[in-house]
Amino acid sequence: MIFASDNWSGASPKVVEAVAEAAKRGGPAYGTDPLTKVVEGRFSELFEREVAVFPVGTGTIANSLALSHFARPGAVVLAHREAHILVDEPGSTEFFGAGMRPVGLDGVNGKLTPAGLVAGFERFPAGNTFHGNPVVVTLTQMTELGTVYHPEEVAALAGIAHERGAAVHMDGARFSSAVAGLGVAPADITWRAGVDVMSFGGTKNGCLAAEAVVFFDPARAAGFAVARQRAGQTFSKGWFLAAQYDAYLGGGHWLELAGHARDMGRDLAAVIDASRVARLAVRPAANELFAFVRSDALERVRAAGAVLHPWNTVSLPADAVPAEGEQLVRLVTSFATTADEVAHFAEVLEG
Amino acid sequence: MIFASDNWSGASPKVVEAVAEAAKRGGPAYGTDPLTKVVEGRFSELFEREVAVFPVGTGTIANSLALSHFARPGAVVLAHREAHILVDEPGSTEFFGAGMRPVGLDGVNGKLTPAGLVAGFERFPAGNTFHGNPVVVTLTQMTELGTVYHPEEVAALAGIAHERGAAVHMDGARFSSAVAGLGVAPADITWRAGVDVMSFGGTKNGCLAAEAVVFFDPARAAGFAVARQRAGQTFSKGWFLAAQYDAYLGGGHWLELAGHARDMGRDLAAVIDASRVARLAVRPAANELFAFVRSDALERVRAAGAVLHPWNTVSLPADAVPAEGEQLVRLVTSFATTADEVAHFAEVLEG
Amino acid sequence: MIFASDNWSGASPKVVEAVAEAAKRGGPAYGTDPLTKVVEGRFSELFEREVAVFPVGTGTIANSLALSHFARPGAVVLAHREAHILVDEPGSTEFFGAGMRPVGLDGVNGKLTPAGLVAGFERFPAGNTFHGNPVVVTLTQMTELGTVYHPEEVAALAGIAHERGAAVHMDGARFSSAVAGLGVAPADITWRAGVDVMSFGGTKNGCLAAEAVVFFDPARAAGFAVARQRAGQTFSKGWFLAAQYDAYLGGGHWLELAGHARDMGRDLAAVIDASRVARLAVRPAANELFAFVRSDALERVRAAGAVLHPWNTVSLPADAVPAEGEQLVRLVTSFATTADEVAHFAEVLEG
Amino acid sequence: MIFASDNWSGASPKVVEAVAEAAKRGGPAYGTDPLTKVVEGRFSELFEREVAVFPVGTGTIANSLALSHFARPGAVVLAHREAHILVDEPGSTEFFGAGMRPVGLDGVNGKLTPAGLVAGFERFPAGNTFHGNPVVVTLTQMTELGTVYHPEEVAALAGIAHERGAAVHMDGARFSSAVAGLGVAPADITWRAGVDVMSFGGTKNGCLAAEAVVFFDPARAAGFAVARQRAGQTFSKGWFLAAQYDAYLGGGHWLELAGHARDMGRDLAAVIDASRVARLAVRPAANELFAFVRSDALERVRAAGAVLHPWNTVSLPADAVPAEGEQLVRLVTSFATTADEVAHFAEVLEG
C-alpha cells in the first residue's frame, strides 16, 4: 500500500530489459549512438512533427535548463504559486537562469487562469528596467493538485503569453498522467495549443531515470546542447537514457503504464468517495489524489502499512477545508500499484 | 577494435543485474532508500574511514559540484592545464562556482609538480583583492595523459595546498585505473595523502551512469545535499545509482574490471612497443595509451574497423614529438576489451 | 514643487565642496587613501562601536552584495513583499547571490510582523533540501510605505531570525529619514536591536552617489573586499566616496539634512490633513507620504508644476482604500525642499 | 613625483566644476535627466555616428557588463594573457558572464597578433560542445604594456573575430592615452576598424568616477539597460556621471588632459633614455612606461619621494630582460603630472 509517490515504484520490466540489452552493445559516447537517433525519431512521431530532444537525468534539471534557455538580465518566469520550481527546487531556476526570478501566481484548482496570468504580466510593464520582465510562462501538466489543463485552457494561456512576447514551457513530470487522464493526443496539449518547450518525464511512470527537454521548434534549441553539457547532463553512455525512452515510447508502452496508474487512481478515488472517514479535497484527473481523512482512520491505515504523505496545499478550492479531526493527505498510484493494494486500503480505511 | 574511449563500452552484467533487481523493488525516493545506505557503508569500508558520499549522474557534475563547494568571490582553482575541467567542461567550474576561475598550470608527464604548484600559488598573493585567491587544487588520477600520481606525489602537492589554506580535490573519473595501475589501497592515494574530496567515477569502468562526490571528512560536506538537489542531481530513484555502486564495489568487482582494462592496456602497449610503425609517446600506467602511429598504418587499422581518436596534447614530454609521417593517437582499453581485439589490432597494424 | 523622489534633488553644497577639495589632492587608489580611513572612523563613532565599512556606488548593489554575503545553495532571503529587492531590483539578489531566492512576506503598515516572520520561516523546515533555507531577513528602514520600525520592533524580528540561524540585514537607503523620524541613536535601531549588516544610504539625503555596506561585527566581513572588487564596486578614486561621507557624517550634517526633509514632510502632511481634496493613506514617519488625492486636484497641482508619482501599493492598511474619484500618489520631500514649495502646493491643491 | 598610477591623481577642475553646477540643479533620476541626453549626443559626435552609451561607475564593471552581453553557455572570451580582465578583475568576467571563460593568449609587445588570435580560435572548433566557443575578443587600447594598436592592427584582429562569428570589445580604460599617442580619430580605432562595443574610460584621465559602455550599433544594445540596473550600476543621480562626461568631452578637454599626460610620459621616457642607471623595457606610446632601473637608483628616487610600482610582466619582448642589479618598474604620468616632477625625478635618478 505505497501511495507515497509514483517515484517510489521500481521500473517497468520492459524498460529495464531495454537497458540491459543496450548495455551489452554499448556505443559511441555523449549521445552520438544510434539508439539516441532512434529515440529522437520516436519523439517526433509521438508529437506528429519534428522536434529537438535532449534527454537529461532529472525533472529538476529538465525544468531549470529549459527555463534558463530564455534567461536574460531581469528575466521573470511566471508560474503557479505551488509549481515544483517554486516549492521543490531550491533556487534551481534562479541559479541556472543566472538570476532569473520565478514569480508565483494564484490559480484555481491548481491551474493558472487567464485573468490571473494577465494580472501577472501587468505587474511587469514592458520597458520597465526595475521590476523585471516575464520571458516565459510555465504550466505544470498534470498539475501539482492532480488536475489537468484542457487543450483550450493551455491555448488561452499560451495566447496571453505569446501576445506579450513570452514563451510557454510545460513541466511534464507527470505528462503521461495528463495524457491518460484527458485522452487527448500529446500534440493537442502541447505545441498545437502553443507550448514552445517541455520537460517530458519518464521517471515517475516506469523509467529508471529518464527526463527530456523537448523543443517543438528545433530552430529554437540553438545552443542547448552546450547548456546541457555545461550542466553536467550529457551522459557519456547516452544509450542508457535512449534505451529507456525507446522501450517507454515504443508500442504505446508509456500509455499502458499511465493508463494503469490512472485506473488505480480512479479506483482509489471511488474508495474514498464511498468512505465514511475520508473525502476527496479536489476531483483528481488521474493518479494523484488529495483527500481529507479522519485522524483515527489515518492512524489505522498507516498501522496496516499504508505509506502516504500529509500535505499542505494553499491552492485547494476555497470550500475545501478540513473539518475538525480531519487531515489532508496525498495519495499517488503508479504503474506498479495493484488492485489488491487498493482493495486492502479500502478495507483497512473503514476499520 | 574499439579503442575510442572506455565510455564506449556497455556495462558490466553484474551492474546491470543489480539495477534490474533493484527495479523490481523500488523504494523511498531521493536517496532515502536502504540500498543507498548500504552503498554509503561500502564507500566507508573501501576508504577505511567514515566518508560522506553523494552519488550523481556524470563526471562533469561531480567535478563541478565538488569544486563549487569551496567557491567564494575571487576563488581560483589550480589545475593541470589539460585537466578535464579546463578542456572538456565548457565553463562548468565557472558556472557552478558562480564565477570561480580554473587556472591551468604546466606539469610533467601530465602531472602537476611541486615547483609548478608553488609557482601557481605565488601568482596569487594572499590578501590581494585583484588577482583572485586559490581555494582548491585539483589533481586528476589517473591523469589525462594516462599516467598516475604516486602516493608520495599526491602528498607533496596536498601539503603545498594545505599550507596555503587550499583544499585538495581529486578528479577520479578513472580512479579505478589508477588503483589498478598502482596497486595501492584507495585510502593511500586519497585522504591519507591529503585529498579532501574526490569525484569517484564508475561509468568508465562498467557502470551505466554512476559517479559520486566523496568527502573524506563528513563534517566538511555541510550543505552539499542542497547543492546537489539544486543542481538537479538528486535522482528520485536513488536506488538506481546505489544498485550500480553496490554491485560495482561489492566483492572487489570494480578492481576486477579495472584490472582487466589495465591488462589489455599493457598488452596493447606491448604490441606498440614491438611495432615498426608505431611507438608510445608516453609510458602508460594502465588502460589509456598515447602513441605515434605512421599514417599508412593508421589508415590500415581504421580500414579494418579500429576506432581510435587523433589527439592533441601539449603536455607530452619535450622529447616526444611526432616524426615525419606520424600522427598522435589515443587508445583506451576497457573492462570489455578482449584479447582477440588486441591480437587483431597487432596483426592489422603491421600490415 | 518636486515631490517625485528625494533622489531628484541635487547634492548638499557641503558634500560637493568636500569632493572638490579632495579632487585637488587625489591619493592612493582603491580605498587605501587617508580620507577613507577617516570615514571608517566616522562610521565607528556614529555607531558607537568598531564597524567594517565598504562604500559602494548605489543602493541596489549595497543590498545585493550585503545579502549575497550569506548566500549558499538553496539560500532564501525573507523580506517584506514590497521590499526594494523584490520590486525595484530586477533579479539582483538572485544574481549576486548566485541563485539566492528572495521571498516576500505580508506585513502591517509596510513592516514585517513577528507572526508573519515566524510563518515565513515555517515554510522552510530546517534540514529540508527541497524548499530552500532562510539565511537572512531584510528589513527596510525607513520602510517602502514611509513608516518606521521602532527599536523594539527591530529587536523582536531580529530575535526570531537569530533563533533560527538567520542573519539580519537592514536596507537603509532612507536610514537618515528613519533616524530623523524616530529621534533615536543609530546604534539603537541597528546592532543594539540585532542588525548584523546594513546598507547605509547617503544619496537620497544629499550625497552625489554614496552608499555603504556596514558590518557591525568586522569579523563577519571576511572576504567582502574581494566580493566588492569582483562586482566592480571598488572605486579607484576611493576618496571620492570618502569625501562625501566625511562631509555628510561630520558635524551631524546628515541629520541636519534629514531633519529638514522630515520637517518639510510634516508640513506637507499637515497641508494634506487640512485639505478637502486630499487625505493621507498612512501616517508618515518623516519625508515620504502616501495620499489619496481627488483627480481634479491632482490635475491642478500638476498643471501648476508639481511633480509627484501615482503609486500602487498593496501594503496599505486594509481600511485605506481610494474613494470614487481619488488616486493614490506618493510625495517625497528632501533636504532641498523649501517651505515655499510646500506653501505653494497647499495653495494650488485647494484650487 | 607620483608615478604610481594615473588613478592616483585628483580630478580635472573643469570636471569638478561641472559636477558642482549640476549638483545645484539635480534632475529626474536614473539617467532620465537632460544632461545625460546631452552626453549621449557628445558621444555620438565624438564617434561620428549614433552610438548607445551606458555610463557606469568603474572600469571593471564596464568590461564585465560589456562582455557579459555576449554570454551564453560555454562562451569563451579571447584576451591577451595580461589583460585586466584576467589579472585585475577577480572572476568578474566569469561571474557577470554566468560562467563565461576568459582565455589568455600570448602576444607581442602587449598586443594580440593575427596568428595568435587565429590559433586561439582553433582551440575551439565550431560545433564542439566540450571545449567552449569564443563569442567575443577583447583588445586593450592602450595596452597593459603601454603600447597601442594601430588602426590596421585592430582591423586585422576584428576581421578574424568577425569571420568566426565573434564580436570585438575594446577595453578603453586608457583609450584617451591611445588616441593621444596615435593621433587618430576615435572612430578610426574603434568601429571603423571593427570594434563592436567598448569600455570608454574617463577616471584615469581626470574624471572622478566615469566609465561608459558604448555600443557602436545601438540595435545591439537591446537589454543592456536592464543588465546595468541589475548590476547596481544605474546611478539614481545620473546627472552626476553625465556632468563629468559633459565637461570631459566638451571642447576637446579630454584630449588636452591626455595630451599633457602623453607629453609628460615622453619627457619621462627621454629622461630614462638619457640615464646611465635606467633604461626602457619597451617603447611607450604615451603615458605608461616600463623601465629597468638599477636598485641603488630606485632606492634613491624612492627616498626622495617618488612613488612607483615594481612590476612583473611576462609580455615583455624576449630581449627585454633585467641585467644583474636591475629591477622592472612601471611609471605612469597623468593629466596632473608637472614638468617639475619630471625634472626632479631626472635629477634624483642620476644621484
Partners of C131 on chain A (C-beta within 8 Å) are 87-88, 90
Percent of the residues in chain D that have a pLDDT greater than 70, as a whole number: 100
| Closest by Cα among C13, C43, C52, C1 to C207 | C13
* CA-to-CA dists, residue A36 to A33, A203, B267, C311, angstroms: 6, 17, 33, 55
- Taking phi over 0 as left and psi of -120 to 50 as alpha, with beta for the rest, C98 belongs to left
The pLDDT of residue A337: 98
User: Is B103 near chain D, with CB under 8 Å?
Assistant: no
The grid cell for C290 is 502616501
Average pLDDT of chain B, as a whole number: 97
CA distance D260 to D271: 17
Give the pairing of strands A288-294 and A326-332: antiparallel
Strands of B63-221 (E only): list them: 75-80, 101-105, 133-140, 167-172, 197-201, 211-215
What is the pLDDT averaged over residues C131-139? 97
* CA angle (B28, B31, B36) in 5-degree steps: 100
Statement: residue A295 has pLDDT above 90: yes
What is the pLDDT averaged over residues B58-84? 98
The pLDDT of residue B61: 98
- The CATH superfamily holding the domain D254-350 is Aspartate Aminotransferase, domain 1 (3.90.1150.10)
ipTM of the complex: 0.97
Partners of C205 on chain D (C-beta within 8 Å) are none
CB contact under 8 A, D203 and C230: no
The grid cell for C82 is 514590497
Statement: residue D203 has pLDDT above 90: yes
Q: Which CATH number fits domain D12-252: 3.40.228.10, 3.40.50.2300, 3.30.450.40, 3.40.640.10?
A: 3.40.640.10
The pLDDT of residue C119: 97
What is the distance in angstroms between the Cα of D323 and the nearest Cα belonging to chain A? 47
User: Is C230 near chain B, with CB under 8 Å?
Assistant: yes
The pLDDT of residue A313: 82
The grid cell for D278 is 635606467
What is the pLDDT averaged over residues C275-299? 97
The pLDDT of residue B351: 85
State which residue of chain A sits closest to D223, comparing Cα positions: A73
User: Is A223 near chain D, with CB under 8 Å?
Assistant: yes
The pLDDT of residue B312: 87
C168-172, C255-259, C310-314, D99-103: least confidently modelled range: C310-314
Query: Three-state SS for A4?
Result: coil
What is the pLDDT averaged over residues A45-63? 98
pLDDT band at C314 (very low <50, low <70, confident <90, very high): confident
Partners of A235 on chain B (C-beta within 8 Å) are 57-58, 209
* CA angle (C261, C263, C265) in 5-degree steps: 70
D323 burial type by CB count under 10 A (0-12 exposed, 13-18 middle, 19+ buried): exposed
The pLDDT of residue C31: 94
Contacts of D45 (CB under 8 A, 6+ apart): none
| Closest by Cα among C211, C232, D233 to D225 | D233
The pLDDT of residue A312: 87
What is the distance in angstroms between the Cα of D8 and the nearest Cα belonging to chain B? 17
State which residue of chain B sits closest to A90, comparing Cα positions: B230
What is the distance in angstroms between the Cα of A61 and the nearest Cα belonging to chain B? 5
Give the pairing of strands A309-310 and A326-332: antiparallel
Statement: residue D312 has pLDDT above 90: no
The pLDDT of residue A314: 81
Chains that touch B (3 or more CB pairs under 8 A): A, C, D
State which residue of chain A sits closest to C101, comparing Cα positions: A91
State which residue of chain D sits closest to B314, comparing Cα positions: D123
Percent of the residues in chain C that have a pLDDT greater than 90, as a whole number: 97
D 151-180 residues with CB < 8 A to C = none
State which residue of chain A sits closest to D225, comparing Cα positions: A129
What is the distance in angstroms between the Cα of A351 and the nearest Cα belonging to chain C? 33
Partners of D132 on chain B (C-beta within 8 Å) are 90-91
The pLDDT of residue B315: 82
A18 burial type by CB count under 10 A (0-12 exposed, 13-18 middle, 19+ buried): buried
User: Is C25 near chain B, with CB under 8 Å?
Assistant: no
The pLDDT of residue B318: 87
| Closest by Cα among D338, D57, B165 to C203 | D57
CA distance A180 to A266: 12
D 234-263 residues with CB < 8 A to C = 234-237, 240
User: Is D126 near chain A, with CB under 8 Å?
Assistant: no
The pLDDT of residue C318: 87
pLDDT band at D328 (very low <50, low <70, confident <90, very high): very high
The pLDDT of residue B132: 97
User: Is D36 near chain C, with CB under 8 Å?
Assistant: no
The pLDDT of residue D131: 95
Contacts of D196 (CB under 8 A, 6+ apart): D167, D168, D169, D215, D216, D217, D220
Indicate the domain borders of chain B: 12-252, 254-350
What is the distance in angstroms between the Cα of C166 and the nearest Cα belonging to chain B? 15
Q: What's the per-residue H, E or C state across C104-138? A: EECCECCECCHHHHHHHHHCCCCCCCCCCEEEEEE
Statement: residue B110 has pLDDT above 90: yes
pLDDT band at B187 (very low <50, low <70, confident <90, very high): very high
What is the pLDDT averaged over residues D84-89? 96
pLDDT band at D314 (very low <50, low <70, confident <90, very high): confident
- B12-252 and B254-350 agree in CATH topology: no
pLDDT tens-place string over residues A18-41: 999 999 999 999 999 999 999 999
What is the pLDDT averaged over residues B100-126? 97
The pLDDT of residue C313: 82
pLDDT band at A182 (very low <50, low <70, confident <90, very high): very high
pLDDT tens-place string over residues C246-277: 999 999 999 999 999 999 999 999 999 999 99
A50-64, A316-330, C11-25: least confidently modelled range: A316-330
| Closest by Cα among C106, C4, C91 to C314 | C106
User: Is C126 near chain B, with CB under 8 Å?
Assistant: no
Statement: residue B139 has pLDDT above 90: yes
